[in-house]
Structure 1
Amino acid sequence: MSDQTVTTVFGIDLGTTYSCIAYVDEFGKPVVIPNLEGDLTTPSVVQFDDDSRIVGKEAKNNAVLFPTQVSELIKRYMGETEWRFNYNGIDYTPEEISSYILRKLAVDAEQNTGIPVKDVVITCPAYFGIAERDATTRAGEIAGFNVKEIINEPTAAAVMYGLQNEQDQVVLVYDLGGGTFDITVIEIKNGAITVVATGGDHTLGGRNWDAAVVRYLADQWMSEADSNDDPSDNEETLQDLWLLAEKGKHSLTARKETAVAVAHAGKRIGITLTREKFDELTNFLLEQTIDFTNATIKAAQTRGYDHFDQILLVGGSTKMPQVSERLKNTFNIPVKMFDPDQAVAKGAAVYGRKLAIDEKITVKIAELTGQDEKNVNLETTPETIVEQAQQEVAQDNGLKLHAVKKYNDMSVTNVASHSFGIIVLDPRTKEDIIYNLVLANDPLPTTNTQTFYTEEAEQETVELKVLENKGTDTIIRDLTLGEEIGNAVLHLPPHLSVDHPIEVTFNLNREGRLHIIGREPVSNASIEIEIETSRGITQEEAAEAKKRSSRLVIS
């Protein structure tokens, strides 16, 4: 029996270089939906063409002819305040451009499945901070989606892996995509997926490997042509070099060498690119991923994880032979290539399915217990009530009970991608420091309350400056290592003595959203901050982008 009475939540892997969309079909199987060109992945490239936006392969190919009309690698600019793409006198934000990619995926998916794309789970790099996550959510909203959640890419892959491999294990998810790199330690145990530690760099990916090849091809052309005319200085030739570099990289996945023809200034020169030369050119990039992996393993070990059962390779760039070879030689841990192009989108779809079923069960528990849905807590609800709700949801929606239980019992625990703290005065040195109340890799959700003290008698206010940082210690003395993401002023009652206590509470939810409370305990005066980053697109820009986007043709 079809189970389409349960809301379909689509999973979207919004990638730096390629994106794809998946859903759980009527048979309960996660499936990636091809685009109208018949491909399972769509290049994350947008061409501006008057009132139309061309997304995907055609836009990527047209970048050679129309470099000023084409935007690519947009994911790298998510959350950046200053970055804009100007076309016909209008500035476009990364969020709006990303929304075109999302709409292309949605339009094609609806045509192929007949199901409108409304509810989505979108993935992002584990190392994305608050600004980048907010930007990803806004991109989905501009595209017209109800964004159920933003989930980390390695976590999504682990959800998919855990669905297929139920034995208890600790895995390292090595996720090297087109523009980002994540390394994440994840424990899979009794259906629970727990992120232990994560690290990475959202500006390191396959595109960096391509850049090294582009430079090599340009240098070889100059040498062979006996010319000082650098091909990479010409916009059209440079675009062609990028395409040739990516194609050459792909060829070297299966072959030891490949021939690349570079045409510039009327001269066409054949250049041989061997896998050995490719590995030599890009070894410094691979070493960066190894450094991140070592650091993340060390972070996991501080939390009591010393044994790792497997390294899962996720992301298209892990197909490069150098990756698996280096990992095997360095860590002596079994390496498994796990559906590198599709695992993230499929895992997001599975997680979306879980959210949809959880909603049904929450509604049913509210009916059974007479509670308001908002007050239902699945973790504290008696097991007998949960089981009854699972049975009735399965029966009401034509689902198999074991499938409902599997999705509902699945738990996903993430960790903080960054540390978060406030600026306080060190009473010993009388210098400002960052005091972190949440540390990177703390399990989510997390809540921490600390007491600080006023500096002066009769102090009238306390300013809470909230900083995001990459530090691993509670106290950071170099203020330049933090980036301010919010602030608020707490007004104090009169006649307070020096060293009067002020309580500060940080609450970071499972999606990485930060809520802060500052409280003066005597008068109970308090101030609350819901961190809405000032970086990235403004609310006015988002509204204008949504209005503008609705009038555009996406193809």
Structure 2
Amino acid sequence: MSNPVFGIDLGTTYSAIACINDYGRPEVIRNPDGAETTPSVVFFESDSQYVVGKEAKNGALVYRDQTVSLIKRHMGTPLELEFFGTTFHPETISGVILKDLVTYAREATGLDTSDVVITVPAYFGLAEREATRQAGEIAGLNVVGIITEPVAAALSAGVRTDVDKSLLVYDLGGGTLDCTIMRISADGVEVLVTDGNRLLGGADWDQALFDLVADKFRQQALLTEDPVDDEDFAQRLLTEVETCKMTLSRKEKASIKCTFGTAVELVEVTRAEFEAATEHLVGQTVDIVARAMAVAQQKVPGLGYDEVLLVGGSSRMPMIEAALQERFGWSLTKTEFDLAVAKGAAIYGQGAAAWIDSAVAGSTGTDVATVAHPALGGQAEGRQLLLGGKAVTISNVLSRSIGVRFVRDGAGGRPEPFIGFLAHAQESLPLEVEQAAETYDHDVTELTVHLYEQMGEAESEVVTDNREITPDSGATFYGLPRLPKGSPIHVSLAIDAEGLATLSAVEPRSGQQLRITATLSVMQREALEAATKIVAGMARSD
């Protein structure tokens, strides 16, 4: 039998870890504080000790130079932070969080396993997904799958493949918004459209409420100084604001006691005031949902929604349900807001492992290796798993468009580089496309092909609006036979079920061929090994 697998929701503001319990049900494992979710905040106490969670969060402003939060928003970027003379990347800091989650999960359950499934927002591109996998590697874990958060939530909600239905998942977490539309059938789970914003989440509502309370306090206390400039005041208020937000989800008003110097005021905030201060944020989420629905209608004309799932802790706010009902007239299904994604990851982990066991049991000799690899390598979508004893396939869409850098005549006849997209966001995976190209210059003896991934919410031909994903090894034709301008180059792009892109190019005159696979990562192998050693040498502070 395969090892047990932990399912991890590596969140922007809070994380959770789950496993399948002795009764075959997904169960979130409580942390040492007794909570089911852990703040995704790291406090570096020294060069070898760290604190993750509530204690780190409570001191975030006071010890701002030693504390990191919202690191998920930087995954897949070259951000560097330094603590006690050591350089940390987003993957390293996420690795510390993952290490802490698995450490306490092992202690609580007695499960001796390093196998994990980690969730990511559905709109994460290649860099962010690979960064998440690397974070697991840095933590000393065996990442057996990367699954998108909406699919995990759907699994947690009890997806049944014996009933055909269309499903929309609205996932508003602490730091990100994800909207995914999928179809469920006997064939499995088919993602049709995914959209979202990695910089929009509950933390933005917290900030708006923070500003609202601070402004009311200044007015009530007739202050000439700004209390927010005081770190102790700001830290206390930031902590109180989150509790206040939760209260306003249950009651029409809440109060926060604010103290600054000799000024002491009980500041009352009504739900109506909070909703007015955050109306623009709610509007952004609704617009993203509408945008996703419009794309889905293009792909499947007349598509309706049998169920709409609310996922993510910030979806608890009444304003979210009210806005979605007002705009779309939906009847909404509430999930285990904070816990659904981690539970779904655990369900996937068990299902993938069960499929492996089943496949291996029916194989002999060398077939075992070829059977085992596809289910456990790389991303989860496009893979088979066993749910309720039945093989189910999860298929996905391309989260971001991928193209090649071409050159054309620009102003004044000068060469103008631009990105020509071969594969477009929301296209179903796997896919393969071909593109006819030709040389721009005369007497070409060397030609490099550059592969790019869309960065913004919409495609842009501007090179700097995109991210190059050409492997470090490069993709260059050498020793070409002095090709004249306009010589043909045949380009094809294949993207597999995992979202990994393979570019092939052929120069027919010489017969030369190029084949490159974009396994994009910001951290190179040497840096990855160094980060792994750093995290391995660190321990939780008692």
TM-score by length of 2: 0.91
Structure 1 residue aligned with 2:333: 336
CA distance in 2, matches of 1:46, 1:147: 22
Residue 484 (structure 1) aligned to one of 464, 468, 474: 468
Structure 2 residue aligned with 1:68: 65
The runs of at least 4 aligned residues of structure 1 exceeding 6 Å deviation read: 375-379, 427-430
Partner AA of 1:505 in structure 2: S
Q: Would the aligned equivalents of 2:134 and 2:528 in 1 still touch at CA under 8 Å?
A: yes
CA deviations over 1:386-417 (Å, ceiling 9, x no partner): xxxx9xxxxxxxxxxxx956455111011111
- SS of aligned partner of 1:219: helix
- SS of aligned partner of 1:302: helix
CA distance in 2, matches of 1:27, 1:411: 25
Structure 2 residue aligned with 1:218: 214
CA distance in 1, matches of 2:526, 2:387: 43
Partner AA of 2:463 in structure 1: L
CA distance in 1, matches of 2:136, 2:109: 20
Distance change in 2, residues 1:59/1:192 (3 Å):
same
Q: Would the aligned equivalents of 2:356 and 2:372 in 1 still touch at CA under 8 Å?
A: no
Partner AA of 2:286 in structure 1: I
Q: Would the aligned equivalents of 1:109 and 1:117 in 2 still touch at CA under 8 Å?
A: no
Partner AA of 2:179 in structure 1: I
CA distance in 2, matches of 1:472, 1:248: 33
Q: Would the aligned equivalents of 1:166 and 1:191 in 2 still touch at CA under 8 Å?
A: no
Residue 311 (structure 2) pairs with residue 314 (structure 1): yes
1:240 Cα offset (Å): 1.9
Q: Would the aligned equivalents of 1:140 and 1:147 in 2 still touch at CA under 8 Å?
A: yes
Structure 2 residue aligned with 1:418: 400
Residue 485 (structure 2) pairs with residue 515 (structure 1): no
Structure 2 residue aligned with 1:259: 255
CA distance in 2, matches of 1:98, 1:405: 30
Matches within 5 A, 1:175-190: 175-190=171-186
CA distance in 1, matches of 2:63, 2:103: 25
Q: Structure 1 stretch 239-248 or stretch 315-324: which is displaced more?
A: 239-248
| Paired residue total | 525
Q: Would the aligned equivalents of 1:309 and 1:333 in 2 still touch at CA under 8 Å?
A: no
Q: Would the aligned equivalents of 1:84 and 1:94 in 2 still touch at CA under 8 Å?
A: yes
1:237 Cα offset (Å): 1.9
Partner AA of 2:21 in structure 1: D
CA RMSD of aligned residues (A): 2.5
- SS of aligned partner of 1:333: coil
Q: Would the aligned equivalents of 1:36 and 1:108 in 2 still touch at CA under 8 Å?
A: yes
CA distance in 1, matches of 2:387, 2:2: 14
CA distance in 1, matches of 2:204, 2:12: 12
- SS of aligned partner of 1:53: strand
Residue 158 (structure 1) aligned to one of 154, 178, 187: 154
- SS of aligned partner of 2:218: helix
Residue 352 (structure 1) aligned to one of 349, 353, 362: 349
CA distance in 1, matches of 2:82, 2:441: 50
1:202 Cα offset (Å): 0.6
Residue 391 (structure 2) pairs with residue 409 (structure 1): yes
Residue 116 (structure 2) aligned to one of 113, 120, 127: 120
Partner AA of 1:526 in structure 2: Q
TM-score by length of 1: 0.89
1:259 Cα offset (Å): 0.6
CA distance in 1, matches of 2:446, 2:374: 41
Distance change in 2, residues 1:478/1:32 (3 Å):
same
Residue 89 (structure 2) pairs with residue 80 (structure 1): no
CA distance in 1, matches of 2:437, 2:460: 16
Q: Would the aligned equivalents of 2:171 and 2:179 in 1 still touch at CA under 8 Å?
A: yes
Q: Would the aligned equivalents of 1:162 and 1:188 in 2 still touch at CA under 8 Å?
A: no
Distance change in 2, residues 1:408/1:541 (3 Å):
farther
Structure 1 residue aligned with 2:231: 235
CA distance in 1, matches of 2:45, 2:402: 42
Residue 131 (structure 1) aligned to one of 107, 127, 139: 127
Matches within 5 A, 1:377-396: none
CA deviations over 1:200-235 (Å, ceiling 9, x no partner): 101100000001111112211221222231222222
Structure 1 residue aligned with 2:525: 539
1:492 Cα offset (Å): 5.3
Residue 481 (structure 2) pairs with residue 494 (structure 1): yes
- SS of aligned partner of 1:259: strand
What runs of 5+ residues in structure 1 fail to find an aligned partner? Answer: 380-389, 391-402
Distance change in 2, residues 1:79/1:477 (3 Å):
closer
